[in-house]
A and B are shown apart, each in its own frame.
Chain A
Amino acid sequence: MKKPKLATVWCEACAGCHMSFLDLDEALVDILAQVELTVSPLTDFKDYAFPQVDVGIVEGGVGNEENREVIEHLRQQCRFLIAWGDCAVFGGIHTLRNWLSKDEVLRCGYVETASTVNGIIPAHEDIPQLLDKVLPVNAVVAVDGYIPGCPPAPEALAYCLKELLAGRLPVLPADMIHFD
């Protein structure tokens, strides 16, 4: 049987979820024996025009146009989409900026910080535009499974992959759910 293909992406995030994945340590060997990791920050495979995969895993919230494009593309290309970590599930720490307007956020970041001299807000057609608010993944596309946590426990991802391999949509048991 062909190994199921896996793609992971990170959007507006800190990489903590992927670090947590690596924290699976020797259990990683077992998992990678059963799945094929395609596009992922871990493989440094950056071409997002990837082919069809079985499982797509998203770390991070949707904060700019690029994030939105990546997520929408991944949704088209995968059979099951998993939101991974508090940012992807709820919006996470980035939602702190949701209480401000987009202009205020940019001004804060690029002009008003204490160390900035003559700051300007960067604008170029190659720079993706910020969205008005950071959104959880399920506010943009349909999501099939959720693994909250900041960072999510390594065991939680292993559990979800095992469930998917067994042909079930993963739902975390209560003792694996945590938000912080």
Chain B
Amino acid sequence: MKNDIQPVKMTIDGQEVLVKPELTILQAAQQNGIRIPTLCHHAALSDRGGCRMCVVEVDGAPRLAASCVTPVRDGMQVVTVNERITETRRTILEFLFAERNHNCMFCPQSGDCELQDLAYELQMDHLTVPQSFHEFPVDITSDTIGLDHNRCILCGRCVRACEEISGCYVLNFQNRGPGTLIGFDLNEIREESACTSCGACLQVCPTGALYNRYRTHYSVKGHPKDWQTIQTVCPLCGLLCPTVSTIRDNHLLKIEGAIPAGDEQPEGGQLCRQGRFDVLKNSGRRLLHPMVKKADGSWAEASWESALDITIDRLNAVRDAHGGNAVVGLASGLSSNEELVCFRDLMVKGWETGQIATLENSGFQNIYRIGPDKGQTFKEVSWKKIAEADFILAVGAVTHDSQPVVGSLIRKRIIRDNMRSAGIGPNDFLYPYGTHHIPLKNGDELLLIKTILSEAIKVMKKTASAPDVGKIFEQTEPVKAQDIVKKLHLDGKAQAALDEIIRDYVDSTNPLIIVAEDIAAQKNPSGLRALVNLALLKELYGNESLRLIVLKPGGNSMGAYKLLHPFDQEEQAETVPKGGLVLLEQNPFQDTPSLKIPGNLDFLAVISPYWPDSLVDCAHVLIPKPLWMETDGTCTGLDGSEIAFRQKMLDAPAEINPSWQTLVDLAARANVHLDYGSWDELRQKAEQEVQKEVSGEKT
């Protein structure tokens, strides 16, 4: 069909071009390599035609047209640059510079500013209008985003980014005329607004009005000509958003979302607070040398050899005295797949331990123990399919902490496409956009799920013949809805919402269920079974995946699940750990890892990029490792099917060995030969192992 649409023939600066009829003049020019200066236009945002920087002459008309909002037309004659146009653009710039405080010499954004770049390009070497010197407020109540109204040109990019990229609708214009300001909510200060600190506004701001409170000072930033950019992915959660990080002199200056992000990725450079800001926080004192605790409890620097020797000798002693299961291994959920493979092989082959887990709560794995049916694998649907859903049921989903972008993706679907949605759980994270919300105490969600399943089956039995789900119909014990409603103290409004949720779910053709990690972690097999069966009432997504998205606590939680063979804490309860090895990572979510190291261990070695403050008391050996941003590695996505390569951004201090190397060295001392060959071969091995589990060998 599309091929039938005739291209439009037009002339731009004397050059005859053929373009698609739905384009604007600006797009047509850009496609043909003709540059038109722009300011309020941004590749990731809709166009507003507000700044008039992109004006062009159309068919010699006396009035210039804003090319970003003027559609092309057959036979159109466009002139993008002549003296009149340049003069117009320069005059607009002069007004912008004179309106507020745009003195580059005392602006920290100088050198990284689109307004300044345009002034240079259009040779604005002086102002012909007097400057206003009117004072505007500055909002630095946030520790992430600074807003200096004096630098604002009211282009509205941030307003559009807030609605189009993050779906938050927090920023908007306030007041009128020269007193117009960008405002948070109903003219709140930043800290008291509903802003989620995703930083989309700051990434698109063409001046220094919205700026990062971290690392924006001249002395840190230096000059943009010395900057280097690295395209990589953010490993802090399973969404693995593509990023562009800016480095100067081995210092990380900023992390921005990649635009365009690529197929099915969060749009427009979307990131979250953690990925954009928290990574810039200093997490503490770097551990630069291996340290060994002396008899008097003080720490002494040690050589790599002696630190590794002591670790192996002491852990061997623990195994000889108490057995392999007394040696426990804990790895950060941010570790790369490669680190996890080495860590597992060392722990299993070195000490025959069965106790390996992640530091983050791995309870979400409880849901995988259910499985849709015996022998089948539990394959979740990818978070990318939120884009195609027509109904989303969020069970206890509080996504602001672990996967903030998921909440944003759902919000945008609701607002743009009127997608129906429902949340059940203590707080309504979709407020005020969600269709329904049933407030529940934490822990009651699965009881309500049982009710929804039972009621949905009643409805489906009446309406559709469903041979595939007949088994579920038989399996499911009917629940008396009235009893549950009473037990959960649901009021009339919640009961009405419950009925609607059931109807919405049954009527939907492409529903998804988002499961918060604490729900998936509940030790409630019948409740989890009901959740899985509810998903199975609708056919498998793409004939292969359950309509469930299980949120995870750590960046590489899924990699850890697949690679570490987590031990069941209840089964292992009789073996009390006596010694342990901990692999830490920089964790922006929490300054001290929530470690449950049981009792007083005979020996504990910690491999960490920082001084592990919470472990210093019980540890005996500290071994340094590079940060995640200082090493290459691969991460596993939220649903376990995607593997992304995370390229290193910075060089690690020269004296620090990569952690996989440390683990291989440790293994050699334990008489275990871990031969992965090169790092690339290790990466391949890790990738195969993750993929293998996906294809269903684990039951």
Instruction: Give B72-115 as 1s and 0s: 1 = Cβ < 8 Å from A's Cβ atoms.
Output: 00000000000000000000000000000101111100110000
Contact of A180 among B104, B122, B123, B125 (CB under 8 A): B104
Task: Scan residues 88-128 of chain A and give those whose CB is less than 8 A from a CB of chain B.
Answer: 89-93, 95-96, 98-99
Q: Are A91 and B131 in contact (CB under 8 A)?
A: yes
Task: Scan residues 215-273 of chain B and give those whose CB is less than 8 A from a CB of chain A.
Answer: none
Task: Write 15 A-B pairs (CB below 8 A) sorted by A numbering.
Answer: A90-B103, A91-B103, A93-B103, A93-B105, A95-B131, A96-B106, A99-B133, A138-B128, A171-B123, A174-B121, A177-B119, A177-B123, A179-B104, A179-B116, A180-B111
Nearest-neighbor residue (CB-CB) of A134 within chain B: B133
Task: Enumerate chain A residues within 8 angstroms of B116, measured Cβ to Cβ.
Answer: 179
Q: Are B123 and A150 in contact (CB under 8 A)?
A: no
Taking A83-B126, A95-B103, A148-B126 as contacts, is the C-beta distance between A179 and B119 under 8 angstroms?
yes
Task: Report the separation of the CA atoms of residues A142 and B133 in the bound assembly, to the nearest whole angstrom.
Answer: 22
B127 at the interface (CB under 8 A from A): yes
A173 at the interface (CB under 8 A from B): yes
| B253 shortest CB reach to chain A, Å | 18
A164 at the interface (CB under 8 A from B): no
Contact of A174 among B107, B120, B128 (CB under 8 A): B120
Counting from the closest, the 8 A-B pairs by CB-CB distance are A179-B104, A146-B126, A146-B125, A98-B133, A150-B105, A180-B110, A180-B104, A180-B105
Taking A150-B105, A179-B104 as contacts, is the C-beta distance between A95 and B133 under 8 angstroms?
yes
Task: Report the separation of the CA atoms of residues A159 and B104 in the bound assembly, to the nearest whole angstrom.
Answer: 23
| B220 shortest CB reach to chain A, Å | 16
| B653 shortest CB reach to chain A, Å | 34
A63 at the interface (CB under 8 A from B): no
B492 at the interface (CB under 8 A from A): no
Q: Are B105 and A92 in contact (CB under 8 A)?
A: yes
Contact of A93 among B106, B122, B131 (CB under 8 A): B106
Task: Enumerate chain B residues within 8 angstroms of A146, measured Cβ to Cβ.
Answer: 125-126
B697 at the interface (CB under 8 A from A): no
Task: Enumerate chain A residues within 8 angstroms of B131, measured Cβ to Cβ.
Answer: 90-91, 95, 98
| B222 shortest CB reach to chain A, Å | 13
Task: Enumerate chain A residues within 8 angstroms of B110, measured Cβ to Cβ.
Answer: 179-180
Task: Report the separation of the CA atoms of residues A92 and B130 in the bound assembly, to the nearest whole angstrom.
Answer: 13
| A35 shortest CB reach to chain B, Å | 22
Task: Report the separation of the CA atoms of residues A86 and B125 in the bound assembly, to the nearest whole angstrom.
Answer: 10
Task: Enumerate chain B residues within 8 angstroms of A89, measured Cβ to Cβ.
Answer: 125-126
B574 at the interface (CB under 8 A from A): no
Q: Are B105 and A179 in contact (CB under 8 A)?
A: yes
Q: Are B120 and A92 in contact (CB under 8 A)?
A: no
B675 at the interface (CB under 8 A from A): no
Task: Enumerate chain B residues within 8 angstroms of A93, measured Cβ to Cβ.
Answer: 103, 105-106
| B230 shortest CB reach to chain A, Å | 26
The secondary-structure label for the interface of chain A is: mixed
Q: Are A147 and B105 in contact (CB under 8 A)?
A: no
Q: How large is the interface on B (under 10, 10 to 19, 20 to 34, 35 or more residues)?
A: 20 to 34
Task: Report the separation of the CA atoms of residues A150 and B107 in the bound assembly, to the nearest whole angstrom.
Answer: 12
Q: A148-B125, A172-B123, A179-B104 are in contact. List 8 more A-B contacts (CB 8 A).
A: A90-B131, A91-B103, A93-B106, A95-B131, A98-B133, A99-B133, A179-B110, A179-B116
Taking A91-B131, A148-B126 as contacts, is the C-beta distance between A177 and B105 under 8 angstroms?
no
Task: Enumerate chain A residues within 8 angstroms of B133, measured Cβ to Cβ.
Answer: 95, 98-99, 133
Binding site for A on B (CB under 8 A): 101, 103-107, 110-111, 116, 119-128, 130-131, 133, 135
Contact of B126 among A96, A99, A138, A178 (CB under 8 A): A138
Binding site for B on A (CB under 8 A): 83, 86, 89-93, 95-96, 98-99, 133, 136, 138-139, 143, 146-148, 150, 171-175, 177-180
| A180 shortest CB reach to chain B, Å | 4
The secondary-structure label for the interface of chain B is: loop
Nearest-neighbor residue (CB-CB) of B133 within chain A: A98
Taking A174-B121, A177-B119, A178-B120 as contacts, is the C-beta distance between A92 and B126 under 8 angstroms?
no
Task: Enumerate chain B residues within 8 angstroms of A150, measured Cβ to Cβ.
Answer: 105
| A108 shortest CB reach to chain B, Å | 16
Taking A92-B103, A99-B135, A180-B110 as contacts, is the C-beta distance between A139 and B130 under 8 angstroms?
yes
Task: Enumerate chain A residues within 8 angstroms of B106, measured Cβ to Cβ.
Answer: 93, 96
Nearest-neighbor residue (CB-CB) of B123 within chain A: A174
Task: Report the separation of the CA atoms of residues A98 and B133 in the bound assembly, to the nearest whole angstrom.
Answer: 6
Task: Report the separation of the CA atoms of residues A179 and B562 in the bound assembly, to the nearest whole angstrom.
Answer: 55
Task: Report the separation of the CA atoms of residues A171 and B123 in the bound assembly, to the nearest whole angstrom.
Answer: 8
| A159 shortest CB reach to chain B, Å | 12
Nearest-neighbor residue (CB-CB) of B132 within chain A: A98
Nearest-neighbor residue (CB-CB) of A83 within chain B: B126
Task: Enumerate chain B residues within 8 angstroms of A95, measured Cβ to Cβ.
Answer: 103, 131, 133
Nearest-neighbor residue (CB-CB) of B107 within chain A: A180
Task: Report the separation of the CA atoms of residues A93 and B101 in the bound assembly, to the nearest whole angstrom.
Answer: 11
Nearest-neighbor residue (CB-CB) of A177 within chain B: B120
Q: Are A90 and B120 in contact (CB under 8 A)?
A: no
Taking A93-B106, A99-B135, A179-B110 as contacts, is the C-beta distance between A172 and B126 under 8 angstroms?
no
Q: Are B126 and A171 in contact (CB under 8 A)?
A: no
Nearest-neighbor residue (CB-CB) of A151 within chain B: B105
Task: Report the separation of the CA atoms of residues A147 and B123 in the bound assembly, to the nearest whole angstrom.
Answer: 11
| A65 shortest CB reach to chain B, Å | 19
Nearest-neighbor residue (CB-CB) of B136 within chain A: A99
Taking A96-B106, A174-B120, A179-B105 as contacts, is the C-beta distance between A90 and B130 under 8 angstroms?
no
Task: Enumerate chain B residues within 8 angstroms of A173, measured Cβ to Cβ.
Answer: 123
Q: Are A136 and B105 in contact (CB under 8 A)?
A: no
Taking A179-B116, A180-B111 as contacts, is the C-beta distance between A90 and B135 under 8 angstroms?
no
Contact of B105 among A86, A99, A174 (CB under 8 A): A86
Task: Enumerate chain B residues within 8 angstroms of A83, measured Cβ to Cβ.
Answer: 126
Task: Report the separation of the CA atoms of residues A180 and B112 in the bound assembly, to the nearest whole angstrom.
Answer: 12
Task: Enumerate chain B residues within 8 angstroms of A178, measured Cβ to Cβ.
Answer: 120
Q: Are A177 and B125 in contact (CB under 8 A)?
A: yes
| B121 shortest CB reach to chain A, Å | 6
Task: Enumerate chain B residues within 8 angstroms of A172, measured Cβ to Cβ.
Answer: 123, 125
Nearest-neighbor residue (CB-CB) of A147 within chain B: B125
| A143 shortest CB reach to chain B, Å | 7
Task: Report the separation of the CA atoms of residues A150 and B123 in the bound assembly, to the nearest whole angstrom.
Answer: 16
Interface centre among B105, B127, B133, B135 (most CB of A within 10 A): B105
Task: Report the separation of the CA atoms of residues A138 and B103 in the bound assembly, to the nearest whole angstrom.
Answer: 17
Contact of B127 among A136, A147, A171 (CB under 8 A): A136
Task: Enumerate chain A residues within 8 angstroms of B111, measured Cβ to Cβ.
Answer: 180
| A149 shortest CB reach to chain B, Å | 9
Task: Report the separation of the CA atoms of residues A93 and B110 in the bound assembly, to the nearest whole angstrom.
Answer: 14
Task: Report the separation of the CA atoms of residues A24 and B563 in the bound assembly, to the nearest whole angstrom.
Answer: 65
Task: Report the separation of the CA atoms of residues A163 and B126 in the bound assembly, to the nearest whole angstrom.
Answer: 18
| B86 shortest CB reach to chain A, Å | 11
Task: Report the separation of the CA atoms of residues A92 and B103 in the bound assembly, to the nearest whole angstrom.
Answer: 7
Task: Report the separation of the CA atoms of residues A86 and B104 in the bound assembly, to the nearest whole angstrom.
Answer: 9
Task: Enumerate chain A residues within 8 angstroms of B103, measured Cβ to Cβ.
Answer: 86, 90-93, 95, 179
Task: Report the separation of the CA atoms of residues A133 and B130 in the bound assembly, to the nearest whole angstrom.
Answer: 11
Q: Are B126 and A90 in contact (CB under 8 A)?
A: yes
Task: Report the separation of the CA atoms of residues A96 and B150 in the bound assembly, to the nearest whole angstrom.
Answer: 12
| B662 shortest CB reach to chain A, Å | 46
Task: Report the separation of the CA atoms of residues A99 and B130 in the bound assembly, to the nearest whole angstrom.
Answer: 14
Task: Enumerate chain B residues within 8 angstroms of A179, measured Cβ to Cβ.
Answer: 103-105, 110, 116, 119
Nearest-neighbor residue (CB-CB) of A89 within chain B: B126
| B16 shortest CB reach to chain A, Å | 28
Task: Enumerate chain A residues within 8 angstroms of B119, measured Cβ to Cβ.
Answer: 177, 179
Task: Enumerate chain A residues within 8 angstroms of B128, measured Cβ to Cβ.
Answer: 138
Interface centre among B122, B133, B135 (most CB of A within 10 A): B133
Task: Report the separation of the CA atoms of residues A172 and B124 in the bound assembly, to the nearest whole angstrom.
Answer: 10
| A75 shortest CB reach to chain B, Å | 16
